[in-house]
Amino acid sequence: MRRAVAVAILSVIAMLTAGCAVGSLASNTGPTGPTQTWSTVKNQMVHVDETVKFEFLLLNPFAKPINPVGVADYVVTTVGQERIEADPDEYGRFRFEYTFSSFRPGDEVEIRSSAFKERSGRDFMKIGGDWMRAESPFNEPDTEAASDVLCFEVYQGVVRARINAGTCELEPDTGVLTVKLLDGETRTIYIDRPHRPGFVIMGPDESQAYWMEYKTRGDEVNKQGLTDFEFVIYDSAGQPHKVTGTFDTP
């Protein structure tokens, strides 16, 4: 028994001294605990046009972060056909961000990050906005040290409000939608116009009620949970109508 334990301990020490590392990719938009900033949950939700921050760490067999010096020099992240490279900061963290502007609700997106150690210069160089592979016959391919993957489902928040205006017609241009975020900031939205996306007013229906609908942008929702809103609009008699509520932001 003692011999087995000793062998196991020696194996772990050998892994550590050999530079064995595991990759850990996290985002700032997935589910987290009350004191956490980064989420490593493998399947997450992301809003259309949302800018997400990512962090890639190298971990030892005990799941503790290690210094990447001597293990990895940079991290390559692929999103579809897009390539992002990140260098370590002073704390050994590889951080970058990505805006989900080319995806639509319902799309599933894989984010794959891999850490590489240079051997004779990086495999790719960015020239004129394009990534070009180094074609030198003396170039040795870089060595992959660790990797990790997160999967995202793209969604879009929708704000809907029912307005009972009685026999009066609503004045759409007077409407103001205010979205209230958890950090205390607000977003103000007006009626939809060319070159200025906004809410639309529909109705009246058979019950003389109107409906307001607005499809949110990535910076107009909380990272998770519910988002509060307030909608105020005036009718043709000059009377205000206010609706407050919440909408889901998974």
Tens-digit pLDDT string for the chain (250 aa): 555 444 444 444 444 444 578 999 999 999 998 889 999 999 999 999 999 999 999 999 999 999 999 999 999 999 988 999 999 999 999 999 999 999 999 999 999 999 999 987 777 776 676 776 766 667 788 899 999 999 999 999 999 999 998 888 999 999 999 999 999 999 999 999 999 999 999 999 988 899 999 999 999 999 888 999 999 999 999 999 999 999 998 8
The pLDDT value given to residue 12: 46
Q: Domain coordinates of the chain in residue numbers?
A: 20-155, 158-248
Fold of 20-155: Immunoglobulin-like (2.60.40)
Looking at the DSSP bridge assignments, the partners of residue 200 are: 213
Count how many Cα atoms sit within 13 Å of the Cα of residue 115 in the half-sphere of its side chain: 30
Question: Who's near 76: CB < 8 A, 6+ residues apart?
Answer: 83, 84, 85, 113, 114, 116, 124
158-248 has the same fold as 20-155: yes
* Residue 137 confidence (pLDDT): 67
Q: Are 156 and 215 contacting, i.e. CB atoms less than 8 angstroms apart?
A: yes
CATH architecture of 158-248: Sandwich (2.60)
Global pTM value: 0.83
